Amino acid sequence: MIRLLGMLASVAKKEVRQTVRDKRMMMLLIVAPLIQLFVFGNAVNLDVDHVPTVIVDQDLSHESRQHVARLLADGTLEEIARTHDTEAAEHMLVTGDAAVVLVIPPGFGDDVARRRTARVQAILDGSDPNRANVAAAAIATYFAGESQRVQRERGVALASTQGFAAHIPDVVVDSRVLFNPTLDTAVYMVPGVAAMLLLLITTIVTAMGLAREREVGTLEQILVTPVPAAMLIFGKVLPFAIVGLIDFGIALVVGSTVFDMPLHGSMPLLICATLLYLMTTLGIGLLISTYSSSQQQAFLGGFLFMLPAALLSGIMTPIRSMPSWLQPFTMLNPLRHYAEILRASLLRGAGLTDLITPMSILAVMGAVIFTYASLRFRAVTMK
């Protein structure tokens, strides 16, 4: 046993020595994750506000001015130009300068004053569906609120002249957002980005590391020694698992200090989940290496796995909005489960009992992948 641990330590020590000497590798392991964290945290912003809007006020009444001012007040829409020319305004949609054209036709103020149905027109740029939806919803909500107010006032007036109590049924939605009250995307993105970073580092580094040993011929020299395949594999991945944990810590610190991400969950739970997750990512790296005879192949293989894994993880886009036939496949994606655990634990303070399902899935997946990859590694190298 001590002999085996000694072998493992020798492999790990050698791996650290090679990595520390390799400046590019050090960059990939420590600096690149930091940059990505900042870039993703800031740039991937799903919040929609300041939507550039052209106001075409053909009415120019007191009412039209008042309504436009109140509509713009909440910040979703931002006025970038005001014109009378509908065609010029629509051209701004084509050039991309504006995303919304709000047309208030002549007679709007008059209709409002005479209690007739008034109309406004919103022309939206649908090339960004999410932004168009949010803008349309903001306009619709505002005017729905306004008509309700007008109706209520009319009811009260009617009641006082007719002499009976006004009774107008009314539903008021009072929404309160828990866990991320400002609905800040960065807080939501940082745990996901951390999960992707761990995948990138551990999978690609493991795949390339073993492919390199094979390419250079050192793997054969190792295979004539009595070191068991398991000790070789564990020794090689151990340093990167530790680097992975360090990167994870960095992500938490940056997330909480720079992006105000809450750190609710329990640390032992998070570390446990991370170790389970690392078992799957390192296992996949090992598996990719058994299919690659060169470092380039291993790198490509790593990316072929990374891209769909990131897209089908629910980190960038919600899984519920994926086509229904595709959704079951996301269950096979370790990234999905780990991102789910991170978000639930960090943002909502979920505990082990709440997360038992994704945790067990990760554990089973890790054991299966790692065992299969190790067996394949042995079969491929021993022929």
Partner 1 sequence: MTDHVIEVRDLRKEFGAFVAVRDVSFHVERGEIFGYLGANGAGKSTTIRMLCGLMAPSGGAATVAGHDVGRDPMKVKSSIGYMSQKFSLYRDLVAEHNLEFFGGIYGLRGKTLSRAIDAAVERTGLAPHRKAMTGSLPGGIRQRLALACSILHSPEIVFLDEPTAGVDPAARRDFWRLIRELSSAGTTVFVTTHYMDEAEYCARIGLMVDGALVALDTPRHLKEKYVPGVTLAVSGRDLHRAIAAAAALPGVIAAEPFGARVHVRFEEGRVDEAAVRALFSREGRVDRVETIEASLEDVFLAVVGAGEKKEDAA
Could you give the CA distance from residue 174 to residue 209 in angstroms, rounded to a whole number? 55
* Binding residues for partner 1 restricted to 16-45, rule: CB under 8 A: 17-18, 21-22
Q: Does 320 bind partner 1 (CB under 8 A)?
A: no
Q: Which of 220, 253, 317, 356 binds partner 1 (CB under 8 A)?
A: 220
Q: Does 223 bind partner 1 (CB under 8 A)?
A: yes
**Which string of DSSP letters, residue by residue, matches 197-262?**
HHHIIIIIHHHHHHHHHHHHTHHHHHHTSS--HHHHHHHHHHHHHHHHHHHHHHHHHHHHHHS---
Burial of 183 (0-12, 13-18, 19+ CB in 10 A): exposed
Q: Does 46 bind partner 1 (CB under 8 A)?
A: no
Indicate the helix (H) or strand (E) that contains 277. Answer: helix 267-291
Which residue is listed with tokens 């007036």? 157
Q: Which of 30, 44, 80, 227 binds partner 1 (CB under 8 A)?
A: 227
Whichever of 17 and 82 has its CB closer to partner 1, that residue is 17
Whichever of 17 and 50 has its CB closer to partner 1, that residue is 17
Which residue is listed with tokens 């086509």? 323
Q: Which of 181, 226, 318, 328 binds partner 1 (CB under 8 A)?
A: 226
* Binding residues for partner 1 restricted to 343-382, rule: CB under 8 A: 382
Q: Please name which of 123, 118, 128 lies closest in space to residue 83, comparing C-alpha atoms.
A: 123
Could you give the CA distance from residue 207 to residue 304 in angstroms, rounded to a whole number? 12
Burial of 41 (0-12, 13-18, 19+ CB in 10 A): buried
**How many binding residues for partner 1 (CB under 8 A)?**
28
Whichever of 183 and 216 has its CB closer to partner 1, that residue is 216
**Residues contacting 63, CB < 8 A, separation 6+:** 108, 109, 112, 113
In the complex, what is the shortest distance from the CB of residue 128 to partner 1, in angstroms, rounded to a whole number? 48
**Residues contacting 282, CB < 8 A, separation 6+:** 202, 203, 206, 237, 240, 241, 370
Stretch that binds partner 1, among 124-132, 226-234, 272-280, 334-342 (CB under 8 A): 226-234
Q: Does 13 bind partner 1 (CB under 8 A)?
A: yes
Q: Which of 222, 245, 316, 367 binds partner 1 (CB under 8 A)?
A: 222
Binding pattern for the stretch 231-270 against partner 1, x by CB under 8 A and - elsewhere = xx--------------------------------------
In the complex, what is the shortest distance from the CB of residue 180 to partner 1, in angstroms, rounded to a whole number? 46
Q: Are 295 and 305 in contact (CB under 8 A)?
A: no
In the complex, what is the shortest distance from the CB of residue 247 to partner 1, in angstroms, rounded to a whole number? 23
Whichever of 122 and 219 has its CB closer to partner 1, that residue is 219
Whichever of 163 and 217 has its CB closer to partner 1, that residue is 217
Q: Which of 117, 169, 224, 318 binds partner 1 (CB under 8 A)?
A: 224
**Residues contacting 57, CB < 8 A, separation 6+:** 64, 65, 68, 82, 84, 104
Whichever of 163 and 226 has its CB closer to partner 1, that residue is 226
At 51, which amino acid appears?
V
| Eight-state DSSP code of residue 27 | I
**Residues contacting 274, CB < 8 A, separation 6+:** 198, 244, 245, 248, 338
* Binding residues for partner 1 restricted to 76-135, rule: CB under 8 A: none
Q: Which of 130, 147, 160, 221 binds partner 1 (CB under 8 A)?
A: 221
Q: Does 14 bind partner 1 (CB under 8 A)?
A: yes
Residues of the shown chain interacting with partner 1 in the complex, contacts defined by CB under 8 A: 3, 6-7, 9-11, 13-14, 17-18, 21-22, 216-218, 220-228, 231-232, 382-383
